[in-house]
Amino acid sequence: MTNILTVFQREYLSRIKDKWFWITTILVPIGFVVVTLLPVLLSELGGSSQTNLVLVGSEEYVPDEFLPEDTDRITVSTTDQSLEEVKTELQQEDSEITAVADFGSINPETAEYQIRVISDETLSLMAEGTIQSTLTPLIQQIRLQEEQISPQQAARLSSPITPQFERINADDPSAGQAYALAYGIGIIMYFILIFYGTSIMRSVQEEKKNRIVEILLASMRPFELLIGKISGVVAIGMTQVLLWLGFVLLATPGLLYLIGDRAESTGVSVEVVWNQVQEISVTFNLITLIPLFLAYLFFGILSYAGIFSAIAASADSDSDVQSLSGIAIIPIVIGFMTALTIVMNPETGVAFWGSMIPLISPLTMMARLPFGVPGWEIALSLAILALTSLGLIWLSAKIYRVGILLYGERLGWKHIKAIWK
């Protein structure tokens, strides 16, 4: 036990004193926020080009009062020119026209309201969407006029009918809230398992290549060395996750304060946003969800630490390590893909059995928890995962004992026999 604690202390302290540990601890949550907000920021900073749409042959159907007002995205105008004349102008290099809408194909008698939109160059998706959202209500007005339906009647007939989804227990989360939380937790779990699994693999591989392990094994058993290393990696992983959780709790009020002016400008007060944050914390019972997340994370890291350490101990070259580590990552990928399926439909048999398979349950159960899971299923899933992780540690210790001192030869049948002795 003393040797295990010594290795654990050395592994934990060496990593926590490393400046890169603190750099990644600080940069990862910041990077996650940046990646999440980057598309919105880029769209705002980059702005949007204005689309100049010209309507040809619309005099008969589109009176001036039907024309939409100009916006920063699109301007709409009519012309008396023929389609060919406007197309010629459109092809000129200094033309300010983006696209031409041909109303000549409209035929109310046969209920043909299809409009061709012609451009000289390929339009962007944003430009196509803007043109479509501009022309659609315009065509609707033409159809109503031709069918002699008053605007009041049209408003009554076209008013959207949206069902109101209610839950008997009002404290239960909505489908959107549960989906967002399950998706976010799944991504976090996915990257943490891969990062710390490969981290211990690199550590074992480095010690084997540098022959440091020969000196260490002179004073302790291979089992003690491996358990100490894995315990240190699991502890540093849990420490980093707890620091991230603390960062989120401390940063939330500050972020709300920083976005206060922007929120007010959009008509949403900071109090409203804060109330929503509090509602989410109560709705999902974070006091229960966070400990369960940490429990699955602990046994998940323990399981994959055992797998990756066995790979590093048994492989003889970097190429072997890379090939075998790619195979070891497959269950994590399968778990993530299964979790994506579960968040779309958490009541299927796939959701239940997926959360019971130990190597993928840290991901799949996290996808189910926001939707509500019976306590006995959580207990059974955790028990299976805990027993599997201990079994993997036991097996990896046997492989480590035989493979860690192998140099210049690969793990063969004679070594496999030695593992079970």
Q: Mind listing the pLDDT tens digit for each residue in 295-333?
A: 888 888 888 888 888 887 777 666 777 777 888 888 888
For the residues 49-54, what does the mean pLDDT come to?
81
What's the pLDDT at 319?
A: 73
Span 211-215, mean pLDDT?
A: 67
pLDDT above 70 coverage of the chain, percent: 70
This prediction's pTM: 0.66
User: Which residue in the block uniquely carries the two structure tokens 């992780």?
Assistant: 389
The answer to whether 303 touches 394, Cβ cutoff 8 Å, is no
Question: What pLDDT does 46 receive?
Answer: 55
Q: 401-418: per-residue pLDDT in tens?
A: 766 655 555 655 555 555
Query: Each residue of 220-240: pLDDT tens digit?
Result: 777 777 788 888 888 888 888
User: What pLDDT is stored for residue 369 in this prediction?
Assistant: 81
- What is the pLDDT at residue 119? 85
**Span(s) in the chain for CATH 3.40.190.10:** 49-155
pLDDT the model gives residue 91: 83
**What is the model's pLDDT at position 311?**
81
Mean pLDDT of 326-346: 85
Tens digits of residue pLDDT in 99-149: 888 877 777 667 777 788 888 888 888 888 888 888 888 787 777 777 777
Task: Report yes or no: 56 and 100 within 8 Å, Cβ to Cβ.
Answer: yes
Residue 417, pLDDT score? 56
Q: Please tell me the least confidently modeled range out of 74-83, 182-191, 404-413.
A: 404-413
With pLDDT > 90 as the criterion, what percentage of the chain qualifies? Answer: 3
Tell me which residue of 300, 77, 62 sits closest to 191, measured CA to CA: 300
CATH 3.40.190.10 fits 49-155, yes or no: yes
Q: Is the pLDDT of residue 206 over 90?
A: no
Higher pLDDT, 399 or 161: 399
Reply yes or no on whether the pLDDT at 74 is more than 50: yes
